[in-house]
Amino acid sequence: MSSPLRLLRHRAMQRFWQRVHRVSLIGMNYWASHLAHTGELDAIAWVARRLRDTVRPVIFDVGANVGDYAQACLTAFPAGCDLHAFEPARATHAMLQRRFAQQKDRVHAHCCAMGESMGSALLRSSEPGSTIASLVDLQSPIRPFDPALAETVTVATIDGFCAENGIDRIDFLKLDVEGYELAVLKGAAHMIGREKVSIIQMEFGENNISSRSYMADFVKCFDGYDMFRIVPGGLVPWTYDGGRSEIFATMNYLCVARHFSDRSDP
């Protein structure tokens, strides 16, 4: 007689379990892509509540593209903030500048990438203004890169930028750099190590296969932080669980310094 466990694992059940697995990931908010569907607007609102007593919060939007996320932050902080938006693609940066031309007291647009060290690198893109542009040579981008759009861009570091500009804290750091997140965090090691970065949002997914970066690597960076998955309606507490946590499907995480975090009320 077959055991229940053998029946569950039987070849005849595999197509069913594969479908259940995919539906489960979708239900857990993996692969959500549009700002309105990812839960990021709820996360921004959560961050704004946590920073409500902070005078002019300092926000870094690394991988700003044309500024949709930056605009959501401005809406969430009506009393004011200092928002530094970093976009290395020159054509996209020009669109970003035009969008916030009348808000230069709040938005500072910088035409550079962030990384582990200062220098230059090749930025690849699928189309002008694309949200899929990366310093990583992605093996399977959602849309194929166009070699004609590749450009050499300036790379700075968060630690260096803060030192040069007299910035002694970052209240909210958002990263959307298509697989290059770990390099950016390594370039912010001094600020993070001195507990000068309160809240960090980062994306993890398929592009991290190409950059050979794992959730285990990010967990090491976030010692002293609580981590949450971002979903529509709020935040879900998340802890690393070995191989089961290495899910290479797009997900946004919020990492909150423990003096800001209250896991009982995400």
**Per-residue pLDDT, 82:** 98
**Per-residue pLDDT, 142:** 73
Secondary structure class of 253 (helix, strand, coil): strand
User: For residue 262, what are the contacts with CB-CB under 8 A and spacing of at least 6?
Assistant: none
DSSP-derived pairing of the beta strands 119-125 and 151-156: antiparallel
Give tens-digit pLDDT for 141-185: 777 888 888 999 999 999 999 999 999 999 999 999 999 999 999
User: For residue 96, what are the contacts with CB-CB under 8 A and spacing of at least 6?
Assistant: 64, 65, 66, 67, 70, 85, 87, 109
Secondary structure class of 7 (helix, strand, coil): helix
Secondary structure class of 189 (helix, strand, coil): helix
Percent residues over pLDDT 90 in the chain: 85
**Per-residue pLDDT, 129:** 75
**Per-residue pLDDT, 265:** 58
Q: How far apart, in whole angstroms, are the C-alpha atoms of residue 157 and residue 149?
A: 24
Task: Provide the CA 94 distance to its chain's centre, in angstroms.
Answer: 22
Secondary structure class of 229 (helix, strand, coil): strand
Task: Name the token pair of 135.
Answer: 């310093």
DSSP-derived pairing of the beta strands 170-175 and 197-204: parallel
Is 264's pLDDT higher than 70?
no
Is 193's pLDDT higher than 90?
yes
Give the mean pLDDT of the chain.
94
Is 188's pLDDT higher than 90?
yes
Residue 256: φ, ψ to 5°: -120, 125
Give tens-digit pLDDT for 100-150: 999 999 999 999 999 999 999 999 988 887 888 999 998 877 778 888 889
Residue 217 burial by Cβ neighbours in a 10 Å radius (0-12, 13-18, 19+):
middle
What's the whole-number mean pLDDT along residues 47-75? 97
Q: How far apart, in whole angstroms, are the C-alpha atoms of residue 124 and residue 107?
A: 26
Give tens-digit pLDDT for 210-219: 999 999 999 9
Task: Name the token pair of 133.
Answer: 């542009």
Residue 237: φ, ψ to 5°: -55, 140
Q: Write out the DSSP string of 23-90.
A: HHHHHTTTT--SHHHHSHHHHHHHHHHHTTTSSS-EEEEES-TTSHHHHHHHHH-TT--EEEEE---H
